[in-house]
């Protein structure tokens, strides 16, 4: 069964929603002030304390520094999701298991995923993460099956996630904007519930 990651959690109400609906992964945006979903280290600590321990926590970052990765490790995140740039040295020395994000703008963006030796998972996102925009999923159909956890993100909603799972059978699907309240103040309980149900029940 395809797993589910709900990303961009930022307040206790979001955590209550997640604890009730039990996705497999919970994502928290950190050290990226351009995002309205960005939270502070203190807020992350408070929310992690509330999160059901059966749900894996993921710190979502963009081109993190060594100090930021150390803070993420100290907070006790299960994974760190890395967008942007990071040196091979820093990647190999990271103490928290890494999910490497690839922003797909074309087939050339995908490259050889076998080269990512120091990561546990790979997340394929749209060219502009968090934008709610999708990309051509068919580009991923020929990816070699390996031991990496393959996450699909970018423009997923409760309406299209079943199709995405049926087409690609990824390890997990990832959603943020697709399950937000209209005012972007947090997650919409019913949208999250429907998204999880549709992802897990896809044939």
Active site residues: 7, 125
Q: Which runs of consecutive H residues, i.e. helices, occur in 4-56?
A: 12-21, 41-50
What HEC string does 62-74 produce?
ECCCHHHHHHHHH
Q: Using CB atoms within 10 A of its CB, is residue 15 exposed (0-12), middle (13-18) or buried (19+)?
A: buried
Q: Using CB atoms within 10 A of its CB, is residue 116 exposed (0-12), middle (13-18) or buried (19+)?
A: middle
Is the distance from CB of 167 to CB of 140 less than 8 angstroms?
Answer: no
Backbone angles phi, psi at 118, to 5 degrees: -95, 20
Q: Using CB atoms within 10 A of its CB, is residue 142 exposed (0-12), middle (13-18) or buried (19+)?
A: exposed
């Amino acid at each position: 069964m395809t797993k589910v990651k709900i990303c961009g959690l930022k307040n206790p109400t979001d955590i209550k929603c997640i604890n009730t609906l039990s996705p497999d992964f919970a994502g928290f945006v950190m050290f990226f002030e351009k995002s309205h979903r960005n939270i502070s280290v203190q807020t992350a600590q408070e929310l992690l304390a509330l999160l059901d321990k059966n749900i894996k926590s993921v710190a979502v970052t963009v081109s993190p520094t060594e100090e930021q990765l150390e803070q993420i490790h100290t907070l006790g995140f299960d994974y760190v999701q890395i967008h942007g740039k990071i040196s091979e040295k820093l990647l190999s020395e990271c103490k928290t298991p890494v999910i490497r994000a690839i922003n797909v703008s074309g087939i050339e963006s995908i490259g050889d995923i076998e080269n990512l030796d120091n990561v546990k998972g790979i997340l394929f996102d749209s060219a502009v993460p968090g934008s709610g925009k999708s990309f051509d999923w068919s580009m991923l159909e020929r990816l070699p099956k390996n031991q990496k956890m393959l996450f699909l993100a970018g423009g997923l909603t409760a309406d299209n996630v079943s199709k995405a799972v049926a087409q690609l059978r990824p390890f997990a699907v990832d959603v943020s904007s697709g399950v937000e309240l209209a005012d972007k103040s947090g997650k919409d309980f019913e949208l999250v519930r429907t998204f999880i149900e549709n992802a897990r029940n896809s044939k």
